Amino acid sequence: MSTDRRALLAMAAGASLISLTGVLVRLADVPPTVAGMYRMLFGGAMLGVVLVLLGRWRALSARAWVFCLWPAAAFAADLWLWHRSIHAVGPGLATLLANTQVFFMVAAGVLFFGERLHPRFFAGVMLAFAGLVLILGDGWSALSAQSRGGVWLGLATGIAYAAYNLGLKRAQREADPPAAEPVLVVSTLQCAVMLALAAAAEGVSFAIPDLRSLAALLALGLIGQCLGWVLIGRALPRLRVASVGLLLLLQPLLAFLFDVLVFGRPTAGHEWLGVAMTLVGIFLAGLRRPAGQGATSTEQT
């Protein structure tokens, strides 16, 4: 099997695995902040053990540890918002809304790095917005207060995840030599501590109610923060950007399908059309520009 074919399969497998995270959050049956804390705690510990066993762990400098606080805080905000959005509008729509991070990444490139917008970006925004209108069905006014809040939380998740992507890239550059996986472990465990403090401030219980909940949380750490991203991280350098963007869209698409199949989300034909339009819009907006004009991330939650 060729290297490119292996990379394509690894990327598809990784995107498919992380599409399960929204479902696992619902199945965990613990408060949203606690679910995020256990995801990061279990996932960071698992990845750290794997790196040590493979002899790939490298100690980070104090400066790198400080810079890891940026992605840690951003992802803590991401999970705090996203897990509440999942409970309000379901894992499918919540994951789709979180993937609007592509638009915020492009906006950050324009505001902070002097990048220029490509006409393709505006086409993607309009297409994605039209798709979201179709998904929302009878209109904004017909939604319950909980659903409207869930939509706003999902969009805010996209902002937080864009900040995470930018922070993670900066933290990785601060490591000497660059050490992507150790940086991910450190920022993940820092994020777990932040979410634990947030949960304590909320006064919620850290108790895991039963074995099903424990299994869901362990799977959330393994899939959402360890195995899925190891596969994606290894495949990224060996694939064309268009292929990466297209394959990563498996995550929101499969998350929406799981929402329908597992939780019985009622979905009409115009909503499926909206899902397709939103995914195409995200893909168009996330395509990198020609060399010399900068690039944006295509990573997903």
Residue 1: band (very low, low, confident or very high) from pLDDT cuts 50, 70, 90: low
* Average pLDDT estimate for 55-75: 92
Return the structure tokens found at 140. Answer: 């904004």
Mean model confidence pLDDT for the chain:
85
Element (H, E) at 139: none
Which DSSP symbol is given to 89?
H
Per-residue burial over 31-41, b if 16 or more Cβ lie within 10 Å, else e, is: bbbbbbbbbbb
Instruction: Report pTM.
Output: 0.83
| Mean pLDDT score, 167-179 | 78
- Asked if residue 270 lies in contact with residue 277, where contact means CB atoms within 8 angstroms, the answer is no
The torsion angles phi and psi of 298, rounded to 5 degrees, stand at -120, 20
Give the residue with greater pLDDT, 133 vs 177. Answer: 133
Please give the C-alpha separations between residue 1 and each of 6, 8, 11, 77, 165, in angstroms, as whole numbers: 7, 11, 15, 41, 32
More confident site: 19 or 41: 41
Q: What are 233's two structure tokens?
A: 């991280």
pLDDT at 3 over 60: no
Calculate the alpha carbon distances from 32 to 29, 82, 218, 245 in Å.
9, 9, 15, 28
Average pLDDT over residues 277-295: 68
- Asked whether residue 208 carries a pLDDT value surpassing 90, the answer given is yes
Instruction: Report the 10 Å Cβ neighbour count for 157.
Output: 28
**Res. 232: pLDDT tops 80:** no
Residue 175 has pLDDT above 90, yes or no: no
The mean pLDDT of 38-66, rounded to a whole number, is: 92
